[in-house]
């Protein structure tokens, strides 16, 4: 399989370099047009925050892969990067890399579930642009199956590995039913936004956003269908919330011990969960000593994340076993592409001889007898070719490499090549 691929990702480039090469959907569409006309017959392009990768079948089997890299660098007008920043993949290695990416074991965050959907979108774009032939479509389907199996058959995606999600998982353990709870997220940056989105996904009953910059608070509130709490009124209203998640960029504490003590008193025995996702911390850690307060910060959440990462790492061999199994199935299928024309040639060869012999006697016997002879000879040829045909398919699917299968089919094809026989007879 002459599949080739090149990748610039979190292993080979800084985040600034990866951002510089990121392709929007419109850019991917335009870039695929450039590839298709010059370098690849079919393939696909994926571009996320952690990787930009190009895979496909070259128009010229002797294609220098650096031409694909140069095309990307030229298209994005990026300086400071070279071919050394790219990883290159060929044939089995290319397939294995694609499956590793789709399964999440090659992600910056081990077991990242988002990459599966991103890969499916990239595949679909190629299909929509008629940039995916039979082989690429089969690779796409198998890669998608690898991703699904990795999620359903292993625990590679289990457990929180981000601070925001870990915080929500802890909240779920404190409050069994979030539908009856209220939460406020202080800070509308990336961490605060992720926490708010996770709360919404978990079905939180009520959510509010507080941020020093009102416009940012309004944007996030719209995303999570929440309300806005003015930052200047924050301390007066915090006792109304069961869950407080703070993720600001403030230089120091915004919620001290005495303020939390007042909140506890106003809640009259109802517990409050405080999640401090800021660095430096937003909440005085001494509040953990107060009755009715469940307090966690980045350090405690980090321990949960480390434990979950270790659990995911233990699942890597199981995912790799899935990848190996699907690679074997894919290449077995690919090898059958070589034998199908040979099987057809053998059958055509025997059918031609059978038909010639029937034609020789069709004027010498009754029409009913010709029909009987025709049926009988068809069954005879079918039985004669059944075992060789089955055996040839078994050879193709046995795991032999493509060249070995090609050698088998070449020998058999030559044995049943009437044109070659005629040429040798005429030459003699």
Kind and range of the H or E run holding 56: strand 51-58
Whether the predicted pLDDT of 334 surpasses 90: no
- Tell me which residue of 117, 167, 118 sits closest to 296, measured CA to CA: 167
The answer to whether 264 and 231 have CB atoms below 8 angstroms apart is no
Residues 333 and 203 in one domain: no
Whether the predicted pLDDT of 43 surpasses 50: yes
**Which of the listed residues 121, 137, 158 is the one where a domain comes to its end?**
158
341 versus 18: the higher-pLDDT residue is 18
**For 7-21, 268-282, 352-366, which range has the lowest pLDDT when averaged over its residues?**
352-366
Whether the predicted pLDDT of 424 surpasses 50: no
Whether the predicted pLDDT of 199 surpasses 90: yes
Q: Would you put residue 363 in left (φ > 0), alpha (ψ -120 to 50) or beta?
A: alpha
Cα separation, 282 vs 235, whole angstroms: 13
Residues 9 and 152 in one domain: yes
Positions marked catalytic = 49
Cα separation, 308 vs 313, whole angstroms: 9
Whether the predicted pLDDT of 407 surpasses 90: no
Six-digit token string for 305:
């994340």
Residue 302 lies in a domain: yes
**For 56-60, 115-119, 124-128, 422-426, which range has the lowest pLDDT when averaged over its residues?**
422-426
Q: How many CA atoms lie within 13 A of 135 on its CB side?
A: 20
Domain span holding position 404: 323-427
Residues 58 and 112 in one domain: yes
pTM: 0.70
The 10s digit of each residue's pLDDT in 211-265 is 999 999 999 999 999 999 999 999 999 999 999 999 999 999 999 999 999 999 9
Residue 316 lies in a domain: no
Six-digit token string for 19:
């951002």
Residues 176 and 240 in one domain: yes
Give the pLDDT band (50/70/90) at residue 403.
low
- Total domains in the chain come to 3
Whether the predicted pLDDT of 426 surpasses 70: no
Residue keyed to tokens 């298209």: 75
Cα separation, 302 vs 309, whole angstroms: 10
Residue 23 lies in a domain: yes
Whether the predicted pLDDT of 362 surpasses 90: no
**Which of the listed residues 281, 311, 341 is the one where a domain comes to its end?**
311
Q: Would you put residue 48 in left (φ > 0), alpha (ψ -120 to 50) or beta?
A: beta
Using the 8-state DSSP alphabet, how is residue 290 labeled?
Answer: S
Give the pLDDT band (50/70/90) at residue 272.
very high
């Amino acid at each position: 399989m002459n599949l080739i691929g090149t990748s610039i990702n979190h292993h080979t480039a800084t985040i600034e370099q990866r951002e510089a090469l990121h392709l929007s959907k419109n850019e991917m569409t335009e870039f695929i047009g450039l590839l298709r006309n010059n370098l690849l017959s079919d393939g696909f392009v994926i571009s996320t925050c952690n990787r930009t990768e190009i895979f496909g079948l070259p128009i010229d089997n002797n294609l220098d892969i650096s031409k694909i890299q140069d095309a990307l660098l030229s298209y994005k007008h990026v300086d400071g990067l070279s071919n050394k920043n790219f990883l290159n993949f060929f044939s089995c290695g290319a397939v294995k890399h694609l499956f590793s990416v789709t399964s999440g074991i090659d992600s910056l965050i081990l077991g990242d579930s988002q990459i599966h959907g991103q890969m499916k979108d990239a595949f679909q774009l190629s299909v929509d642009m008629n940039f995916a032939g039979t082989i690429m479509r089969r690779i796409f389907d198998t890669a998608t199956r690898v991703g699904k199996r990795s999620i359903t058959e292993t625990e590679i995606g289990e457990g929180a590995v981000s601070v925001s999600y870990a915080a929500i998982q802890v909240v779920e353990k404190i409050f069994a039913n979030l539908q009856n709870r209220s939460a406020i997220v202080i800070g509308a940056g990336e961490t605060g936004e992720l926490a708010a989105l996770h709360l919404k996904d978990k079905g939180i009953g009520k959510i509010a956003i507080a941020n020093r910059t009102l416009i940012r608070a309004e944007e996030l509130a719209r995303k999570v269908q929440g309300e806005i709490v003015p930052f200047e009124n924050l301390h007066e209203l915090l006792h109304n919330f069961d869950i407080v998640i703070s993720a600001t960029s403030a230089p120091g504490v915004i919620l001290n011990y005495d303020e939390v003590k007042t909140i506890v008193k106003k809640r009259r025995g109802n517990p409050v969960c405080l999640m401090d996702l800021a660095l430096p911390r937003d909440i005085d850690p001494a509040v953990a000593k107060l009755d009715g307060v469940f307090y966690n910060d980045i350090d405690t959440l980090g321990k949960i994340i480390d434990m979950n990462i270790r659990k995911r790492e233990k699942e890597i061999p199981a995912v790799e076993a899935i990848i190996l199994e699907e690679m074997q199935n894919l290449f077995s299928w690919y090898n059958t592409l070589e034998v199908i024309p040979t099987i057809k040639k053998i059958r055509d060869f025997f059918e031609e001889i059978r038909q010639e012999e029937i034609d020789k006697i069709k004027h010498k016997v009754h029409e009913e007898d010709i029909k009987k002879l025709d049926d009988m000879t068809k069954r005879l040829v079918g039985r004669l070719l059944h075992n060789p045909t089955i055996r040839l398919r078994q050879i193709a699917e046995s795991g032999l490499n493509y060249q070995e299968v090609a050698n088998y089919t070449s020998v058999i094809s030559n044995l049943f090549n009437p044109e070659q026989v005629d040429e040798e007879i005429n030459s003699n």
